[in-house]
Amino acid sequence: MRTDSAFFKLGVAVAGFAVPILGAVFYYMIRPGAFPIVEAARMEPWRPAFIEARDAWHRGDYAKALPLDRQMDAAGFAPGTFLLGELYLNGQGVTQDYAEALRLIHKSADRNYAGALFALGNLYHTGTGVPQDYRAALSWYLKAATDGEFDPEDSAYAEFSVGLMYENGEGVPSDPVIAVDWYKKAIGNGSKEAEDQLGYCYERGVGVDRDYAAAMYWLRKAAAEGNHEAEDNIGNMYLKGEGVPADREEALRWYHKAVDGGNKGAENQIGWAYWSADPIDYVQALEWYRKAAADGSATSENNIGYAYENGQGVAQDYAEAARWYRKAADDGEKRGAYHLGSLYDRGLGVPHDAGLARVWMEQAADGGESRAQQWLDEH
């Protein structure tokens, strides 16, 4: 799976979560138009309070949301208990208190409220307030998907989460075929994120036979529904000519749509589109790499380091290359760690240091960089 998207959808997530996941889940569960169906008839009188609390939270008016949430909790209204737990979890209107947050979220989950079940999965997945435990996370996601009382959209998020864990081998052995089954279930409940991921699976042949036409179908469907990751992926297919004639301008059009929609990861792809052109447009490529790096792209940090190491579009500067490679490596980019280790091995831009070269090569190899593993085997 693409390295920057695992669970990013859950944060609207996830390699990791792109925004604070639990705050995002809170937003999702109290989105306008959503109202839990848990004990709907008996709890109908609390509907106005729920809507009022939801709207107050959207405005950042936690002083108003807090007493409403407390009232709903006291009445045994599980959604209100969950919302109160989220306030404690995020320190919104109250002092942040993980223990109290967990007590309240578990209390809501005991009533099979899907938002609480889903949030517990996220807590264990990220290790927030509890030890990180992928098996526990998967268990909560499965319970939300199968037992939680919620509307179909909520079910789709839980099903999508289960699929991601099977694809990534988190808490279970990696099984892309099972992952695809869960994505299809999520799609059946309206998940555009699962549409994007299924399209990606068809593009790469992950859990299904590679099928560019099917990939483009699902990606376009997700993009039409506002998924900006899908727009980025469509751009990739046009840039590489996968199932469509290679078309750099069309790729750039899709990348820009993704960026305009808030997908900062597409900034690096715009840079790559210019870098892979013939001739290379160094000015545009580096401008976009720098934008992406400023927005946290470790891939772009590595790419800038590569430009400095090789004097492409900038004056050759090994020390500056090392600085960018270190930033990329510190941000989890395996190629940055490999390149930094190589500089230490050769004494370029940094003092020659066989020990540090090995440290960075080991980090890169642990991340799956085959060139680093080859270096370690030879040294």
What are 24-72's pLDDT values in tens digits?
444 445 444 444 444 455 567 888 898 899 899 889 999 999 999 999 9
Amino acid identity of residue 15, one-letter, is A
Share of the chain above pLDDT 70, in %: 87
**All structural domains of the chain:** 1-145 (1.25.40.10), 298-379 (1.25.40.10)
Chain-wide mean pLDDT for the chain?
Answer: 89
The answer to whether the beta carbons of residues 350 and 343 sit under 8 Å apart is yes
| Distance of alpha carbon 337 from alpha carbon 364, whole angstroms | 5
pLDDT of residue 192 exceeding 70, the answer is yes
**Which segment of 42-46, 71-75, 166-170, 265-269 scores lowest on mean pLDDT?**
42-46
Output the pLDDT for position 169: 96
Amino acid identity of residue 159, one-letter, is E
- Report the length, in residues, of the chain: 379
| Distance of alpha carbon 295 from alpha carbon 268, whole angstroms | 10
Output the pLDDT for position 152: 58
Look up residue 306 and give its two tokens: 């590569």
| Distance of alpha carbon 212 from alpha carbon 237, whole angstroms | 9
Residues 6+ apart with CB under 8 A from 145: 155, 158, 159, 161, 162, 185
The burial class, CB within 10 Å (0-12 / 13-18 / 19+), for 79 is buried
CA angle 352, 353, 359 (to 5 degrees): 140
Output the pLDDT for position 21: 41
Q: Which of 223, 195, 200 is nearest to 212 (CA)?
A: 200
Higher pLDDT, 377 or 148: 377
Output the pLDDT for position 258: 98
| Distance of alpha carbon 378 from alpha carbon 7, whole angstroms | 37
